[in-house]
Structure 1
Amino acid sequence: MRTGEESHPSHGPAGLTRRGAVTGGLLAAAGLLGAGAPSASALAPSVGAPPADTGPGPLAHFTAVPAAEADAVVVPAGFRADVLAPWGQPLHSSGPAWRADASATAADQARQVGSHHHGVQFFPLGAGAAGKLRGLLVLSHEGADRALLGGGAEKAMAAQGLTVLEIRRYGGVWKTVDSPYNRRITGDSPVRFSGPVPFEGRARGVLACSGHGVTPWGTYLATEENTGACFGTDDTDWQRGEEEVRYGLSAGGHGHPWHEADARFDLASQQARPDRFGWVVELDPRDPSAPPVKRTALGRFAHGSATVTEAGGRLVVYSTDAGDGEYLYKYVSADDWRRLRDQGRSPLDHGTLHVARFAADGTARWLPLSHGHGPLTRKRGWHDQADVLLRARMAADAVGATPLARPERAAVDPVDGRVYLALANSPGGSGCADGGEGRRAGCGDADPYGRVIRWREAPARGAEPGGTFRWEEFLAADDPARSAEGAFAAPKGLWFGDDGTLWISTGVSGHDLNGSAPQYRAAGNNALLAADTSTGEVRRFLTAPRGAEVTGVSGAPDGRALFVNVQHPGERTAPLGAPDAENPRAVSNWPDHRPDGRPRSATVVVHRPASGTGGA
C-alpha cells in the first residue's frame, strides 16, 4: 500500500470580520476518533514513511496528504479507504442490481442506495463489544444530477431522502448485509407531522436531506435543505408572492421539472405543497415500520444542520439556514428532555426556536421566535405560533437576525462545550437589499473562501429560552500564515471526535473548484481536514475525487474507523467541463473506474489496517 492511497470498491457570520487568529503548535491527536483512545504525542510533522505499526488500536496520528486534483480518494500513508454503500447498490442481495448505463427505473432506485450522500451516522445494534461489530448506517441523500442519474422526476424523487443499512465488521472490514432493517425513505414515502404546525390529510416525501443530528434517545434527525429546487410551474399566470420570493420558489425552479410529473410540485396547482418541505425530520432507524416525523417546532427553512446537545437537562438543537445571507437558529426544549419523554411528549415538539443576532464587537444574543414577542404579533400580520414557524425566515427577518455567509454545519466540542459554526463563503452583500436593521447588520463584506467561528454559552444561560454569548473567529480559510498542508476553502461540514479533534469537510462549488484563484488552487480537490482547537493548526487527512464534495463524517464506535461521505463525484467543474448522457465520465469515473460506467456518490470507511488481525 502506497502513500496517498487511492480507494477501490469492495464487494460486500456574511460580514463577521472580527479576526481572532489562532495559530501555531502541533495537533495533539489523542486517538482522533473515540473515547478511551491511547494518547499520541503529536501528528507526524511531515509527509513521509507510514507510521510504525501500532497494532489493532484506534487511529492515533497521521501525516498530512498534499492537495490533489486526482480522480481518487487519497488518505495518509498507513491508512486505507474502502468504498461502502455507493449510489445504486441494492438494499438486499435479491434487489435490483446497479446498472452502469443508468437504465434503472424509479422503482429500482427506490430499492437501492440513494444518491448525493450527505449526513452519515452509525447506530450500534447491541451493547458492549457486540455493538462495535454490528450496527445501522443511516445516510442522507441531498439531490440527484440529471445527467448522471438518467430517468425523469420520479427517479430523482426516489434517489433523494434517506437510506438505512445494517453493516457488520468482518476481518477488520465493514460490509453491508441483508437485513430487515434495510430500507429507503424517498420523496414518495409516507410521513407524519408533529408539533405546533397542523397539517391535515395524507403527507408524503422527504427530500434534499443534508446535515443531520442524533437525539439522546437514539433517533436520527435529517435536515431538508434546498427543497425549493423541486418546485416550478408552466402556468404563465402564476405570480410569486412575498413568501414565495423569500423561500426561493420560482416558475423555473432550479432546472428540475418535477411539476411536469407530480402536481405536488406545480406551484400553480391546488395540490402544491411547498410548506410540507423544509423541516427537520426524525427517523427511528431501529423500527423499520416507523414513518419519519417532521418536527415543526424547529421551523421551516433550508436546514443545513441539526446539531443536538443539552444544557441544564434541556434539549438544544443548533440549526442553520444554509443560504448566503441566512441565519443561525437554536431550539431549546421547554423542560428537561427526560421529563418530557416520561410524560409522553416529544422534546422536539415542546420548546422555543431562537435566531442569532451577532455584533461586530464579539457579542451576540438569541432572539426568540415566539408569537406575541416583539414584532411577531397579530397586529403585524402574524396569526399564531404555527404561522411564525411556517414563515420562520420572515419571522427571523422581522426580529432583526444577522445574515451570515452561508452558515452550514454546527458542532459542539465534547471536551469543553464550545460551539463551532462553518461559514462556507459569500460573494458579499447577500440579504442586504431590504429589510430592517438586523438584515443590514454585517452585510457587504465579501468572504469568498469561508471561515469557522465559535462561542461558548454559560451552562445556566444555555438552558434559558434566550440568552447572550460571546463569539470569536477560530479559522479563516484565507489566513496567510497557514501552511500548504492545511490549505482549504469553503468549509461546510464540522464533526468532533470524542477526543476533541475537529474534522472539517469542504465543499468548493464546481464553478471555483481547481480554479485559477490562488486559494482554490492551493486547496485542490475538496478535502477532509483535522484541526486542533487549542492551536488552530489544520492538517489535510483526505482528498476527494474530481468534482466531489466531502460531506458527512462520523466515527465507528470502536474508534478504529471514520465513515466519510463523498458526494456527487463527476459533477460540472470549470476546468474539466460537465458530464452528459454521451459522456458521463467527462469529469470523474470514481469509484468503479469502469470504461462504460459513471461516477457514484458513496460512503468510504477510512481505517488503518492492523497486521495479524483476526476475524473481527
Structure 2
Amino acid sequence: MTTNKFNDGFGNKAEAFEEADNAVLSPKTARTFGDIVNRRYGRRDVLRGALGVTAVTALFGTTALTAATQARAATPAFAFPELESGNDTRHHIAEGYDADVLIRWGDPIFPDVGPFDPQAQSADDQLKRFGYNNDYVGFVPLAEDGSHGLLCVNHEYTNEEVMFPGIGRQDKKDFADMTRELVDIEMAAHGGSVFEIARGADGKWSVVLDSPYNRRITALETEMIVDGPAAGHDRMKTAADPDGTRVIGTLNNCAGGITPWGTYLMAEENFHGYFWTDTLDADGKPVLDRADAESLKRYGAPGRWYNWGQHHERFNIDVEPNEVNRFGWIVEVDPMDPASTPVKHTALGRFRHEGSESIVNADGRVVVYTGDDARFDYVYKFVSAGTVSDDRAANMKLLSEGTLYVGRFNEDGSLDWLPLVHGAGPLTAENGFESQADVLIDARLAADALGATPMDRPEDVQPGPDGKVYMMLTNNTRRKEGQEDAANPRADNAFGHIVEMIAPDGDHAATTYAWNILVKCGDPAVAEVGAQWGPETSEHGWFASPDNCAIDADGRLWISTDQGSNWAKTGKSDGLYALETEGALRGSSKLFFRCPVGGELCGPYFTPDQTTLFLAVQHPGTDGTKNFAGFERNSTFEDPATRWPDFQDGMPPRPSVVVVTKQGGGRIAV
C-alpha cells in the first residue's frame, strides 16, 4: 500500500511536505494577525491603500507620511548599485563586490580527507566533511582585527533526489531505495559544522583544515545534554536514556544565533518530519491511539518525511514513544571547545524553532527571540533569570533558567508578552499541564491556552537598535479573513510581510511592546497584491517571502528570502535585500545578491568590522525547476537544473557558503 499523498507535481520532497504543512494545527478559533490588522484599521482600507493619517502613522510610522519628493532627496543608508533581479543557473552580486564560494557540501573540514566523490559516499566519510543544506551562519572572531575566526553553520535537511545517484524522490515510492547506509549518510549530513577560517593577504578567505577547533555535530552520533525544567521528566525518558538527560543528535537545524558570550545556538525546526510509525489508516495517515495524541497532532508528528525510523528504532514512535519529545529545542554549542557536549535548553520551549537571536538587556539579563515557523503559529521570547557577567562559564548557564513568553498582538498597536508558567492562568493540571516540564514540552498547546496570536509563519526574529525587533513573516496561503477574491489577496498571503516590534525604552524584558508593519511584500505594480513599500523601491528591489535577516554594525537591516517553488509567482530567484528602516526612505528595498535557480538564501552574517558578509545558498537547483525556462522538469542527481557552484559533469548541485567582500577592500554598502 502506498502511503504517499503528494502526487501533486512537486519536484522534491521538501516542497511537497512544506505544502502538507499548510494544514492548520493551531485552534481554528484563534485570531490571525490579519484579523488584528483588519479590526484595527478596516480590511478594505488597508488593502486599497485608503488609510487615513492616523492609521498610516500607527501602522507604518510617522515617516510614512513624508512626500516622495522629500524621500528622493534623502540619503540612502545603503551605498551600492542595485543588482538586477532574475533567475538563472548562477549566483550574482552587486557591481563592485565579489561573492566567492568558501565551502561546499562534501568539502573536507579535516586535513586527512581527500576530494569529494559523490559516487563514493559513506557515513564515516560524511562525518569528516561539510554537511548538506547549509542554513544559519555565525562567525566567532579569534582575532581583534577580524582576520580569522570560527564559522558555525547549520545543516537543515537533505534532498536525496539530487544528493544520491540513481534513486530520485523517495517519499513517492515508500522509500524503497533508501538503505541503512543511505539513511546514515543523511544523518551524518544533518546538524552543524564548526571550523576555522582565515583571511589571506589578498583579502580572500579559506578554511583552516588543521585547526584544533574544527568539528562536526550530527544527528547520527553527537551526544547532547538535556537541561532546564524538562530534564529528567518522565516524558523525556527512553530505553536508551532512562534518566531523560542525554540525547543523541540534533536535526533540521534551521536558523540560530551567536550569544553575547560567544556560543552557537542551533534551532531545531521541523523535527516532526523525522519520526515514523507503521500504524496507518486506509488513507496512509498515522493512527494515534495513545495518551499523547493531542500533543503529537499539535506538532504534526509523526510526519514520515524520512524513513529513519525504519532503520533506527528511536525515530519510530511505535517502538520509542518519547524520543519525539527530545527534539524541537534550542541547542547551545561552545565552538571554542571542540570536546564540549552541546546542551538542549528546555527552558526555551519546544516547537519548530526558526532561530534564536539574543540581546543583553539593560538590566543584564539575556533575551532570546524565536519564531515557530508554521502557519498560524506564534512568536516567543525568553528572558533569563540571571544576568550576564565576565564569567563565561556562568553565562553558559543563563539559558537554563528563566521565563518563556508568547506574543499576543492587540488592535490598539500594543503587544502583550504572555508568560508560559505552570500554574498561571489556564496552565494548570486541570487543563493537562501537570508541571512546568509539560508546559515547555507542549509549548504550542500552552500558547494556545493563553490566547496567543497566530502568525503567518514567523521565522527569523532579530533584535536591533533602540529596542526595535524585526520579525519575518514568510507567507500563509491558508489564511482566511472571511472573504477571498482577486482584489483581496492578503486572505491568501503568498508573499509575506515584516513586523517591527518596539520594546519600551529599549527594555526587552518588558511585557508590553508596541508594533508596526514595516513592509507588506509582493509586487507593488500589481494593485490586487496589496503590497506596501517605501517610495524608492524599484522593480528589482521588492521581494517575497522574507525568511532570515541580519543587522550590520551600522544598525541596518538585511533580508534574505525563501519563496520555495513559488518563485515562479515573482519571476525572481531568492536573494539578499537591503531594507531601509528609518527616515523618509523607510520601507525602501534594494537587491544586493541573488541565488542560482532553485536555491534559497540563508545566513546572512557580517564580521564585526563589516568588511565580510557570509551567505548560505541552500538546495540549489531543486525548488520549482519545472518553471525554469528551458529546463522545465524536476531536477535529479543525473539531470539537475544547475550544477552550481562547480559546473562539472557528474557533480550535482552543492549547497555552499559564499563570502562577500568589497573589491579593493572596505566596509560593505558604505
Q: TM-score, normalising length from structure 2? A: 0.77
Q: Secondary structure at the match of 2:262?
A: coil
Map 1:325-474 onto structure 2 (within 5 A). Answer: 325-338=376-389, 346-414=397-465, 416-429=466-479, 445-459=491-505, 462-464=508-510, 467-474=511-518
2:161 to 123, 147, 150: 147
The residue type equivalent to 1:65 in the other structure is L
Match of 2:658 in 1: 604
Residues 1:272 and 1:265: Cα distance change in structure 2 (over 3 Å): farther
Q: CA deviation at 1:581?
A: 4.1
Are residues 1:105 and 2:161 paired? no
Match of 1:532 in 2: 580
Match of 1:306 in 2: 356
On the 8 A contact 1:14/1:426 being kept in 2, the answer is: no
Could you say which structure has the higher helix fraction? Answer: 2
On the 8 A contact 1:321/1:408 being kept in 2, the answer is: yes
Cα separation, 2, equivalents of 1:393 and 1:96? 45
Q: CA deviation at 1:307?
A: 1.1
Q: CA deviation at 1:335?
A: 3.3
Match of 2:95 in 1: 77
Q: CA deviation at 1:61?
A: 2.1
Residues 1:430 and 1:168: Cα distance change in structure 2 (over 3 Å): farther
On the 8 A contact 2:638/2:652 being kept in 1, the answer is: no
The residue type equivalent to 1:187 in the other structure is A
The residue type equivalent to 1:494 in the other structure is C
Match of 2:21 in 1: none
Cα separation, 2, equivalents of 1:276 and 1:239? 21
Are residues 1:591 and 2:634 paired? no
Match of 1:90 in 2: 108
On the 8 A contact 1:14/1:324 being kept in 2, the answer is: no
Match of 2:204 in 1: 173
Cα separation, 2, equivalents of 1:452 and 1:180? 41
Match of 2:316 in 1: 266
The residue type equivalent to 1:216 in the other structure is P
Q: CA deviation at 1:345?
A: 7.5
1:558 to 593, 600, 609: 609
1:192 to 200, 225, 235: 225
Aligned identity (percent) is 36
* Backbone CA RMSD of aligned residues: 2.4
Residues 1:304 and 1:123: Cα distance change in structure 2 (over 3 Å): same
The residue type equivalent to 1:95 in the other structure is V
On the 8 A contact 1:14/1:406 being kept in 2, the answer is: no
Residue-by-residue CA offset, 1:507-526 (whole Å, 9 max, x unaligned): 0012x12x2x3xx12xx000
Match of 2:548 in 1: 493
Match of 1:242 in 2: 294
Match of 1:253 in 2: 304
Cα separation, 1, equivalents of 2:129 and 2:398? 33
Q: Secondary structure at the match of 2:455?
A: coil
Residues 1:94 and 1:197: Cα distance change in structure 2 (over 3 Å): same
Residue-by-residue CA offset, 1:46-73 (whole Å, 9 max, x unaligned): xxxxxxxxxxxxxx72111111111111
On the 8 A contact 2:467/2:507 being kept in 1, the answer is: no
On the 8 A contact 1:14/1:325 being kept in 2, the answer is: no
Q: CA deviation at 1:16?
A: 5.2
The residue type equivalent to 1:563 in the other structure is F
Q: CA deviation at 1:81?
A: 0.5
Q: CA deviation at 1:572?
A: 3.4
Match of 1:57 in 2: none
Residues 1:146 and 1:359: Cα distance change in structure 2 (over 3 Å): same
On the 8 A contact 1:70/1:545 being kept in 2, the answer is: yes
2:147 to 129, 133, 153: 133
Match of 1:5 in 2: none
Residue-by-residue CA offset, 1:256-285 (whole Å, 9 max, x unaligned): 111111111112113650111100000010
Residues 1:545 and 1:203: Cα distance change in structure 2 (over 3 Å): same
Residue-by-residue CA offset, 1:426-456 (whole Å, 9 max, x unaligned): 1133899xxxxxxxxxxx9331100001021
Match of 1:205 in 2: 249
Q: CA deviation at 1:360?
A: 3.1
On the 8 A contact 1:259/1:265 being kept in 2, the answer is: yes
The residue type equivalent to 1:107 in the other structure is D
Match of 1:163 in 2: 193
Q: Which runs of 5+ in 2 are unaligned?
A: 1-32, 47-58, 165-180, 233-242, 483-489, 523-530
On the 8 A contact 2:298/2:445 being kept in 1, the answer is: yes
Q: CA deviation at 1:530?
A: 0.2
Cα separation, 1, equivalents of 2:481 and 2:116? 43
The residue type equivalent to 1:403 in the other structure is P
Higher mean C-alpha deviation, range 258-267 or range 14-23: 14-23
Cα separation, 2, equivalents of 1:354 and 1:65? 40
On the 8 A contact 1:27/1:531 being kept in 2, the answer is: no
Residues 1:430 and 1:159: Cα distance change in structure 2 (over 3 Å): farther
Residue-by-residue CA offset, 1:119-172 (whole Å, 9 max, x unaligned): 10111113x22xx11111000111010112226211111111010110000120
Cα separation, 2, equivalents of 1:229 and 1:460? 38
Q: CA deviation at 1:389?
A: 0.4
On the 8 A contact 2:270/2:328 being kept in 1, the answer is: yes
Q: CA deviation at 1:94?
A: 1.7
Q: Secondary structure at the match of 2:162?
A: helix
On the 8 A contact 1:232/1:265 being kept in 2, the answer is: yes
On the 8 A contact 2:519/2:532 being kept in 1, the answer is: no
Cα separation, 2, equivalents of 1:152 and 1:611? 44
Q: TM-score, normalising length from structure 1? A: 0.84
Q: CA deviation at 1:608?
A: 1.5
Q: Which runs of 5+ in 1 are unaligned?
A: 1-12, 29-40, 44-59, 433-443
The residue type equivalent to 2:647 in the other structure is H
